[in-house]
Amino acid sequence: MTYREEKDTMGTVKVPEDAYYGAQTARAVENFPISGRQMPRSFLHALALIKKCAAPVNRELDGLDEKIAEAIETAAGEVLEGKFDDQFPVDVFQTGSGTSTNMNMNEVIAGRANEILTGKRGGRSPVHPNDHVNRGQSSNDTVPSALHIAAMHGIFTGLVPALQALHATLSGKASAFSDIKKIGRTHLQDAVPMTLGDEFSGYARQIALSIRRVSGLEERLSELALGGTAIGTGLNAHPCFAEKTISRIAVHAKLPFREAENHFEAQAARDAAVEAGGALKTVAVSLTKIANDIRWLASGPRCGIGEIRIPAVQPGSSIMPGKVNPVIPESVIQAAAQVMGNDAAIAMAGAGGNFEINVTIPLIARNLLESIDLLTASANVLAEKCVAGIEADREACEGYIEKSLSLAANLIPEIGYDRAAEIAKKAHETGRTIRETARAENVLSEEELNRRLTY
């Protein structure tokens, strides 16, 4: 690899010849070789959107040269389209304000804008990464803003539609299974009869509430810190910069972004992200409950519960032929576990601010945006590759009811709890059904017995 030399305020550093970024990014790559994990693409694209929308506003309000503004807007648009995704090598585990990534973005956009204007890639002239690309901004306000933009986009264009599709699929199964009687279970023991449709309606309601939970995040995540610059003071930003730039961002993203009500809160705390992490964790818990129930209900197929059949998407064993495992529910459970772990990291990171800035924003961004992506994919795959293809085994469902000792509860209004318990105990000891035992004990007439044990 060949290198070029570039200068910044700390001196000269070598930069890869084919890179659009410059000295500050090269220093960050050298200083933070911790994990090999780069910032999420959705975060980088959100940050590029800020730069794209800021350039014409700076031209209008602050006299930024028209050609420079246009070149910045074009270059930022190309970054937003993903054309320069390979130009962001800075590790997630970097300076806690995200300054390294902000400067990476400023340098890439400046480097591409210089290429547009002069034919030479990189550099700090005629377009300067700080003076022009970062004009009216600071890492203190752009990085939190990019986090909110990326999270909002992921939730409302990805996660919510995926949950809505899952809800529709579960609701469809609830209707389709509404006449299939089965035994309910509590504590993994037989309970009283219900319908398979009842069970699936509960799952559908969980997802409906999940949609409501994540949708409720809009009010807090739609606030952007942009315009606060250094610690929330608005230093070096035109008084109208935030309003005009955020308006452009909202139009481009088709989301209701607005300027933060208090810039000091918006930059010092990451409470909205912590709230979002908690809501996503709750969704993960719901998906785990549903996926686990599906595994149990489909267990067997001959020596387990086996009340439903799930689609066979791949052979389930490397040694046992004919075995088909519930791979989709299991993949969802694992993704949900990762989301729960991410939430713990987000919560700890959210508490990691001191005075006027949180110093763990890259970690929050990485975990929050990963959780959104994982839940989006999980909801989609669970709906499409599992729930949509579930079939009920009516015979198995109804057969378990007749065998269940819990039917003794139906006799309580006529013979009392204690006598019903005796019937259940005898049925268990003899291996007979409740119906057979009650008939043998002559506790009710045949007509009343059939009325009580109709399910």
pLDDT surpassing 90 at residue 320: no
In a domain? residue 240 = no
Mark whether 360 and 413 lie in a shared domain: no
Known catalytic membership, residue 187: yes
Mark whether 44 and 117 lie in a shared domain: yes
CB–CB of 39/366 below 8 Å?
yes
pLDDT confidence bin for 318, thresholds 50/70/90:
confident
CA atoms within 13 Å, Cβ hemisphere of 65? 13
Mark whether 73 and 40 lie in a shared domain: yes
CATH of the domain at 409: 1.10.40.30
In a domain? residue 239 = no
- Phi, psi at 429, each rounded to 5°: -70, -35
For residue 220, CA distances in Å to 16, 130, 247, 404, 435 come to 41, 29, 17, 50, 58
In a domain? residue 64 = yes
pLDDT surpassing 90 at residue 257: yes
Predicted confidence (pLDDT) per residue in 191-207, tens digit: 999 999 999 999 999 99
pLDDT surpassing 90 at residue 439: yes
Mark whether 151 and 63 lie in a shared domain: no
Mark whether 370 and 411 lie in a shared domain: no
Mark whether 375 and 280 lie in a shared domain: yes
Mark whether 192 and 99 lie in a shared domain: no
Instruction: Give the active site residue among 317, 318, 331, 445.
Output: 317
In a domain? residue 251 = no
Nearest C-alpha neighbor of 241 from the set 444, 412, 53: 53
Mark whether 225 and 299 lie in a shared domain: yes
Known catalytic membership, residue 317: yes
- What is the DSSP pairing of strand 353-354 with strand 357-358? antiparallel
Cβ atoms < 10 Å from Cβ of 263: 23
In a domain? residue 128 = yes
Mark whether 226 and 323 lie in a shared domain: yes
What does the pLDDT read at residue 106? 98
b vs e for 297-306, b when ≥16 Cβ sit within 10 Å of the residue's Cβ?
bbeebeeebb
CATH of the domain at 60: 1.10.275.10
What does the pLDDT read at residue 455? 79
CB–CB of 362/101 below 8 Å?
yes
For residue 99, CA distances in Å to 47, 141, 220, 249 come to 12, 10, 23, 21
CB–CB of 397/307 below 8 Å?
yes
pLDDT surpassing 90 at residue 215: yes
In a domain? residue 399 = no
In a domain? residue 100 = yes
Last residue of some domain: 394, 418, 436? 394
Mean pLDDT of 401-423: 94
Last residue of some domain: 113, 135, 157? 135
Mean pLDDT of 24-36: 95
Mark whether 215 and 325 lie in a shared domain: yes
What does the pLDDT read at residue 113? 98
Last residue of some domain: 92, 111, 135? 135
Mark whether 104 and 222 lie in a shared domain: no
Q: What percent of the chain has pLDDT over 90?
A: 95
Cross-strand bridge partners of residue 11: 8
Q: What percent of the chain has pLDDT over 70?
A: 100
In a domain? residue 243 = no
Name residue 256's amino acid.
P
Mark whether 22 and 113 lie in a shared domain: yes
pLDDT surpassing 90 at residue 109: yes
pLDDT confidence bin for 385, thresholds 50/70/90:
very high
pLDDT confidence bin for 51, thresholds 50/70/90:
very high
CATH of the domain at 304: 1.20.200.10
Domain of 130, in residue numbers: 3-135
What does the pLDDT read at residue 321? 80
- What is the DSSP pairing of strand 308-309 with strand 353-354? unpaired
Q: Quote the mean pLDDT of the chain.
A: 96
What does the pLDDT read at residue 277? 98
What does the pLDDT read at residue 301? 83
Domains held by the chain: number: 3
